[in-house]
Amino acid sequence: MMDKLKVYFGSWVNHLMDHSMLQRLLMALVILVVARVLLVVLRRAIDHAENKGFDKAAKPLIYSLFSYCIYIVTLLLILHVLGVNTAGLVAMVGAASLAIGLALKDTLSNIASGLLLLFLRPFKAGDYIECGSIKGNIVGIGLFNTTFKTVDGLFVSAPNSALWGQPIVNYSKNPLRRLEITVGIDYGDSAEKALDVMRDVVAGEPLFMLKPEPQFFVSSLEDSSVNVTFRAWARTQDYFNLRWKYTAEIKKRFAEENITIPFPQRTIHVVDRA
């Protein structure tokens, strides 16, 4: 038994020490080094592109695609250098691709959806979007999933196909956004006086746009209130601060002007049929 092992390992060492085999191993090592250098260059190129304005949300997807291509090409070159019949390997992979595609159809759907999101760009890194039950700021688009950060700091990872298959509402994409605040006042109060208060409030805020012009109107007559509304345009980044500020400011100004914001009430008539 020991003699057989010595013969086997001796032949293997002789084969390894063969001049042509050493050349192949050296060439395979060179290919690995070149692949490693290409990966470093790829990452630096993507970082440089980000500094030039490239959307950083696309970094994970772009790096994954190109790095996997480098891995595959490197593997095929090394196998070819070592004398493996890569043509037969490629043919075998091609024959198995249909079965692999059927088994991984959801995964492939996520990859295709990620590519479509990358090229159509319905959002970019940092945008606040809503898609179905998902809400948050975009962190990045990966090969299989898109990551978010919610307003309360939670990490959310959603499949790319879930985003591509539903309407996407992007709250950050347009530079301007219309702010609308509606307040109900008592039927005994003057709607015109309430609208004048709103006009005065809006006129004193330079962050509201003059074009398009602000609008002030009675929007509806409810069971317990007359609803008065103002609409004014502002920059998207100022929207929420203005909304919070002037919801409180209008409440304060209405109280100063003795304009009542009523509670819901209902009139009941009791009929005595006795």
Give the pLDDT confidence of 138-181 residue by residue, as tens digits: 998 888 888 999 989 999 999 888 888 889 999 998 999 999 99
Residue range 270-274: average pLDDT?
Answer: 73
pTM of the entire predicted model: 0.62
Instruction: Give the pLDDT score at 220.
Output: 92
Residue 264 CB burial class (10 angstroms; 0-12, 13-18, ≥19): exposed
User: Total domain count for the chain?
Assistant: 3
Instruction: Give the pLDDT score at 243.
Output: 94
Q: Cα–Cα distance between 134 and 126 in angstroms, integer?
A: 15
| Residue 118 three-state SS | helix
Residue range 49-73: average pLDDT?
Answer: 73
| Residue 127 three-state SS | coil
Q: Is residue 31 part of a domain?
A: yes
Indicate if 20 and 84 belong to the same structural domain: yes
Instruction: Give the pLDDT score at 68.
Output: 78
124 contact partners, CB below 8 Å, separation of at least 6: 55, 57, 138
Residue range 212-221: average pLDDT?
Answer: 93
Please say if the pLDDT value at position 247 is more than 90. yes
Instruction: Give the pLDDT score at 223.
Output: 84
Q: Cα–Cα distance between 181 and 232 in angstroms, integer?
A: 9
Indicate if 149 and 84 belong to the same structural domain: no
Long-range contacts of 36-45 (CB under 8 A, 24+ apart): 38/70, 39/67, 39/70, 42/66, 42/67, 42/70
Instruction: Give the pLDDT score at 266.
Output: 72
Indicate if 93 and 122 belong to the same structural domain: no
Q: Which two tokens stand for residue 8?
A: 């086997």
